[in-house]
Amino acid sequence: MSAPNIETIVSLAKRRGFVYPASEIYGGLGSSWDYGPLGVELANNIKKSWWNWVVYERDDIEGLDSSIILNRSVWKYSGHETTFSDPLVDCRECKSRLRQDKLDQDADGKYICSNCGSTNLTDPRPFNLMFRTMIGAVSSDDDPAALAYLRPETAQGIFINFKNVLDTSRRKLPFGIAQIGKAFRNEVTPGNFIFRTREFEQMEIEYFVKPEEAAKAHQEWIDGFDEWLGSLGISAENLKHYEQEKHELAHYSERTVDILYRFFPEREDEAKQWDELMGIANRTDYDLRVHSKKPEDAEQKRINPDSTEDLSYFDTATNERFYPYIIEPSTGVNRTLLAVMMDAYTERTNDKGETRVILKLKPEMAPIKVAVLPLAKNKPEIVEMAKRLKKDLQPSMRAVYDDTGGIGKLYARQDEIGTPFCVTVDHESLEDNAVTVRDRDTWEQERVSVDSLKSYLGERLTI
């Protein structure tokens, strides 16, 4: 089972402290969200899993953390200033502002307003998605010399550091650079909870290869990401590939495959249940070429007169110099978090006929690995033993102590936030130095001696 719709996750997320509406006490700020105590843990677990898999478990990727605000020339030569836009249309009937490329068309090819159904829409005009800001204390609002942008993707910070990383790490092709960080897009129609927001986080790899090896490397990354998403607990039946058609490809891309997740299972039309979780593009040699000082156009004019560097690569084996191709797997932290929560969502009925929510997260993803609960919080010896156990477990796994309710309520709370195990300290524990360990998924309980508790949990959590 997975969540029947995003709304179910919105309410669970707010109720239990995963995600809150941002700026709520001032009426909120459209499509902005804050990550609460459990949300920040889950997001960190996703980022840790990605970084481990990409940077630590492979031998050909280096990490990077580049600036959010870059020299404006980066966005000029990357093409973002002129082409990073969505086609904006206004509905003349209901005054909605919409993204034309996301609208349905009628039999005559006319676009239909997703809000009121009218086809009385304006012609599309390009709306640049980059957030503008000004640099420096003395700049006036319209000073072009002070204009800067918040990055709309982390990728460009990687391209412009290609030579730095190549030289300092003494890498040879193929190798990649990985980065996790915030990106900002002034989206025309943000929405669907954390699926589309104006501020979000990306995990991007730019993998540099010889041109003739690009197609193979591209396919390997696509297959690799199917596996990684599976390792987060996302089931294969809720994932599928979408091969972008020629006319949909970005100007720099030779081939792009999107991995889609079933974010909208409630929609009747199966085709509309899916949307993009991540994209994997073969960007050719476009990026390193446009940021280099040497390449010239047909009239022998430098295409980039502002760059001070040539980002070509010299292959010592063949004595050839060329611009590497780039394979880019680009994943959103927030969309991944939403998919992980939706896929883990399960309901179960207890003996009293009550419906309980269980978030069947993989232990690696669970914000809390074990909750230590005292059966009687008015008995100081039990409380003391439970608190001590929490302290002992904490260095090896994220553990919490909780005595804020009856045991049934405490179990239900931990099930709902995905904690794999609850450890209960009772009166007998004081005598036999053993505790009850309850499994989130089966609700089965087992008596385990305190001496072996850490290794028992470690084994079952596989940490």
User: Least distance in Å: CB of 263 to ligand ATP?
Assistant: 10
**CA–CA gap between residue 85 and residue 118 (Å, rounded):** 24
Tell me if 181 contacts ligand ATP by CB under 6 A: no
**Nearest by Cα to 423 from 449, 395, 396:** 449
Tell me if 179 contacts ligand ATP by CB under 6 A: no
User: 3-state class of 429 per DSSP?
Assistant: helix
Tell me if 161 contacts ligand ATP by CB under 6 A: no
Tell me if 218 contacts ligand ATP by CB under 6 A: no
**CA–CA gap between residue 91 and residue 209 (Å, rounded):** 46
Tell me if 33 contacts ligand ATP by CB under 6 A: no
Residues listed for the chain = 463
- Cα 349 to Cα 90, 354, 357, 412, 443: the distances in Å are 48, 5, 9, 12, 12
Tell me if 436 contacts ligand ATP by CB under 6 A: no
Q: Give yes or no for a contact between 260 and 195, defined as CB atoms under 8 angstroms apart.
A: no
Among 279, 324, 329, 363, binds ligand ATP (CB under 6 A): 279
**CA–CA gap between residue 41 and residue 238 (Å, rounded):** 24
User: Least distance in Å: CB of 227 to ligand ATP?
Assistant: 18
Tell me if 226 contacts ligand ATP by CB under 6 A: no
Which residue in this structure is represented by tokens 């036999």?
Answer: 432
Among 151, 291, 335, 362, binds ligand ATP (CB under 6 A): 335
Query: What are the start-end ranges of the E strands in 223-318?
Result: 239-243, 255-261, 275-282, 313-315
| Enclosing H/E stretch for 128 | strand 125-128
Among 41, 187, 206, 287, binds ligand ATP (CB under 6 A): 187
Q: Give yes or no for a contact between 178 and 63, defined as CB atoms under 8 angstroms apart.
A: yes
Tell me if 330 contacts ligand ATP by CB under 6 A: yes
Write out the binding residues for ligand ATP, residues 94-153 only, by CB under 6 A: 153
Residue whose Cβ sits closest to ligand ATP: 332
Tell me if 176 contacts ligand ATP by CB under 6 A: no
Tell me if 185 contacts ligand ATP by CB under 6 A: yes
Structure-token pair, residue 98: 């919409």
Tell me if 334 contacts ligand ATP by CB under 6 A: yes
**Nearest by Cα to 266 from 170, 342, 376, 364:** 342
Q: Give yes or no for a contact between 410 and 371, defined as CB atoms under 8 angstroms apart.
A: yes
Interface stretch with ligand ATP, choices 193-201, 316-324, 409-417, 448-456 (CB under 6 A):
193-201
Cross-strand bridge partners of residue 90: 97
Interface stretch with ligand ATP, choices 136-144, 286-294, 325-333, 415-423 (CB under 6 A):
325-333
**How many residues bind to ligand ATP according to rule CB under 6 A?**
16
Among 39, 324, 332, 420, binds ligand ATP (CB under 6 A): 332
Among 19, 239, 278, 358, binds ligand ATP (CB under 6 A): 278
**Residue 156 or 330 having the CB closest to ligand ATP:** 330
Residues making contact with ligand ATP (CB under 6 A):
153, 185, 187, 196-197, 200, 202, 276-279, 330-332, 334-335
